[in-house]
Amino acid sequence: MSIEDVKARIIEFRDFLINIDRANAIADALPDIAINLLTYIVLLLAVPIIYEVIFVTYYDTFTMTIIGVALSVLTTAYFIYVIVAKILRKIQRAGQDVTGRYAHWDRLLNEGLPGIIAILESINYDELIIKIHRGKLGYVVAVIVYIIISTLIAGFALFGLIFLVILPIFVFPIPTQLLTQYSIPISLTLGFALTMKLAWNRISESIRTLWMIDSITWELRWIEHDLKRLYRI
Amino acid sequence: MTLKDSTEFKPDLYVIARIITILHEQGPMNRTNLSTAIGLSYDRTVVYLTWMSDRGLISIDSDGYVKLTRKGEETYLTLVQWIINYVGKLKFPRRSIGDRSKD
């Protein structure tokens, strides 16, 4: 291994720190994300109940169709608003200001050995290890949010595909009970299964990352300890 | 500089590494050129050189030329070896949950 290989490792270290900072920023945004998601899930559960209540108290086929369409449009619009405008933007913003923190590392790396030492010296290891532990929480949140959002998106897509396109083609009229009571749970279950199938590699890699983070904290402790020993040269 | 000043001086490892690396790569040079090469003021460079000379890392000849001693060369190799041993063996996860760069 040469100094050039070490430089490459330092760049990986920087990417790792950026991810940890991002995960910390996500952990900071966790209350807002949770409120937004819970609000949406409550709305999603409330819509069929509202529909049922209106169905029982004020039955009229035409009105019910209008109300059904209106509720679907409102739920979809709110879904897009919550996911795109609030949660995804929050996660995206969380990552925006962290990359600039390590911009000076490129210049230091060009200096070779002294630059690498300067980088290692500039790190507050106690603070970093606290950040790493906290970042793990953010990382778990990011994985869960990713699964939930992907499930919701896939669920909506499957809902449209199955209950609005495929079923009306092959089964008409669609049994009302299937459409009102089971369509959303079926869509979400299928959406979850699809998410896990498509994103399993990424999710399992994230879980492996969480395990690796623990071993990295030990390695960093050793670096800090031995860096102090270097001063005695 | 008094002996007391020299013992209380807390050097920056980065500057020492820069001095050692430059002397290792470019060979002996005078103090003025060395201070320019490391980007430090002349006075500050002299403080570092005195500290390093006290520890036998460098020697300064009568013409003011600074060169690495055997101990200084060994220190350079120790630093390189340390960096390679510790940083080289670190393994970092390469992407986060939202990163699609390798898909």
Q: CA-to-CA distance for A22 and A107, rounded, in angstroms?
A: 23
Say if pTM beats, i.e. exceeds, 0.80.
no
Domain that residue A118 falls in? 3-230
Q: Which residue, among A3, A108, A225, A233, would best test binding to B if mutated, counting the most B CBs under 10 Å from its CB? A: A233
pLDDT in tens, A18-38: 888 888 887 787 788 778 878
Strands B29-30 and B58-60: unpaired
Among A123, A180, A183, A193, which Cα is nearest to A151's? Answer: A193
Strands B58-60 and B65-68: antiparallel
CA angle A187, A193, A196 (to 5 degrees): 135
Helix (H) or strand (E) holding B65: strand B65-68
Domains of chain B by range and CATH?
3-85 (1.10.10.10)
pLDDT for B47 equals: 92
Q: Is the pLDDT of residue B2 over 70?
A: no
Q: Do B21 and A112 touch (CB under 8 A)?
A: yes
pLDDT, mean of residues A124-129: 84
Of B15, B21, B90, the CB nearest to A113: B21
Q: CA-to-CA distance for A68 and A55, rounded, in angstroms?
A: 10
Query: In chain B, which residue's Cα lies nearest the Cα of A119?
Result: B14
Q: Is the pLDDT of residue A62 over 90?
A: no
pLDDT in tens, B63-91: 889 999 999 888 888 888 888 877 777 77
Confidence category of residue B95, pLDDT binned at 50, 70, 90: low
> Chain A residues with CB inside 8 Å of B18's CB?
111, 114
pLDDT for B94 equals: 59
pLDDT, mean of residues A111-115: 86
Q: Do B84 and A6 touch (CB under 8 A)?
A: yes
Q: CA-to-CA distance for A129 and A188, rounded, in angstroms?
A: 38
pLDDT for A192 equals: 93
- Shortest CA gap A24–chain B (Å): 12
pLDDT, mean of residues A178-206: 83
* Listed range (A6-10, A96-100, A160-164, A193-197) with the worst mean pLDDT: A96-100
